[in-house]
Structure 1
Amino acid sequence: MNERTSIKITQETLNLQDCYHFVEDDSCGGIAVFVGTVRNSTQNKTVTLLDFSGYEPMAIKEMQKIATKALEKYDIYKIAIHHALGKLKIGDVPVIITVSSAHRKAAFEACEFAIDTLKETVPIWKKEHFTDGEVWVNSHP
């Protein structure tokens, strides 16, 4: 973590207030927040839980790259990207991204960039568990 980014991977419950407080500043008129939650169904199947695993050292580096790129590309002040690993139940939070900026548009754009890029490049894998089996959603480890 540097003074403008907060990157975290944990087996513990993520805390939205920690992410929010990290990015808030009197110079910022906008804070964009993305909170990913475990939903109860996908593709007409009932989801019972999600199991996230990852290669943590590489994932941290990739998440830091995303944060650094967002700071360079958008006129933002701070960014926090936190991701949970392990078994998460319906309603649990696997990912939180918060971004602050003087104006809302930059915060929204950087937040969208961060979650889209995270899903494409960060080595965190998701296994969906259903009432009738399980499947890796993306390439498995």
Structure 2
Amino acid sequence: MEKTRKPKNIFVEGAISPEKIAKSIANHAANHEIGGHSIFLGQVRADAKEGGKVTAIAYTAYEEMALQQAFEIREAVFEKYPLTCMHIYHSLGEVKVGEICLFVFTSSKHRKAAISACEELVERIKNELPIWGKELVSNDTSVWKENT
């Protein structure tokens, strides 16, 4: 019987906590078929902007569309790579400098599939999902962030 995947909510309100990341990793210890994990953590930087530094990013999204597109990306990546599992979490709301705003975690029998899949997921999330970040600057201004 083929496993049917359903859209999952990838959004977390505020920063993604170190505890959530640690628990997600620990939950995989019981799966003895996994030989490699790849993890990407996106962290908010204190970039210099005109008149100040970034202090936080306020994330917004067209949630319904983003969830559907994330589901389609997940399906395509699962089809392309022999993965055991995949997790995607992206922040909404305000995330302060130094906090985690994106957590992508892939697992497979062998490391190369996990690494390649994780890299592709991050690139596709950044380029295809309708998620926007407004950089909050120390001089009480804000700037819409451009993904690079």
TM-score band, normalised by the shorter chain?
Answer: 0.7 to 0.9
| Range moving further from structure 2, 21-30 or 52-61 | 21-30
Q: Secondary structure at the match of 2:38?
A: strand
Task: Give CA-to-partner distance per residue, 1:47-98, whole Å, 9 cap, x none.
Answer: 1110100011111111111111111111211100111100111111111010
What residue is the counterpart of 1:39 in the other structure?
45
Specify every segment of 5 or more residues in structure 1 that has no aligned partner in the other structure, as ranges.
none
Give, in whole Å, the separation in 1 of the partners of 2:59 and 2:72: 21
1:1-141 aligned within 5 A: 7-14=9-16, 15-21=20-26, 25-42=31-48, 46-132=53-139, 133-138=141-146
| Range moving further from structure 2, 117-126 or 2-11 | 2-11
Q: How many residues align?
A: 138
Contact persistence 1:4–1:78 (CA under 8 A): no
Contact persistence 1:32–1:111 (CA under 8 A): yes
Specify every segment of 5 or more residues in structure 2 that has no aligned partner in the other structure, as ranges.
none
Give, in whole Å, the separation in 2 of the partners of 1:83 and 1:103: 26
Q: What is the percent sequence identity of the aligned residues?
A: 29
Task: Give CA-to-partner distance per residue, 1:25-57, whole Å, 9 cap, x none.
Answer: 210100100111111125786211101000111
Cα distance, 1:7 vs. partner?
A: 4.4
Taking structure 2 as the reference length, the TM-score comes to 0.81
Gap change, CA 1:77 and 1:30, over 3 Å in 2: same
Runs of 4+ in 1 over 2 A off after TM superposition: 2-7, 17-25, 42-45
Give the root-mean-square deviation of aligned CA atoms: 2.5
| Range moving further from structure 2, 62-71 or 6-15 | 6-15
Give, in whole Å, the separation in 2 of the partners of 1:89 and 1:47: 9
Cα distance, 1:134 vs. partner?
A: 1.6
Contact persistence 2:39–2:105 (CA under 8 A): yes
Cα distance, 1:12 vs. partner?
A: 4.5
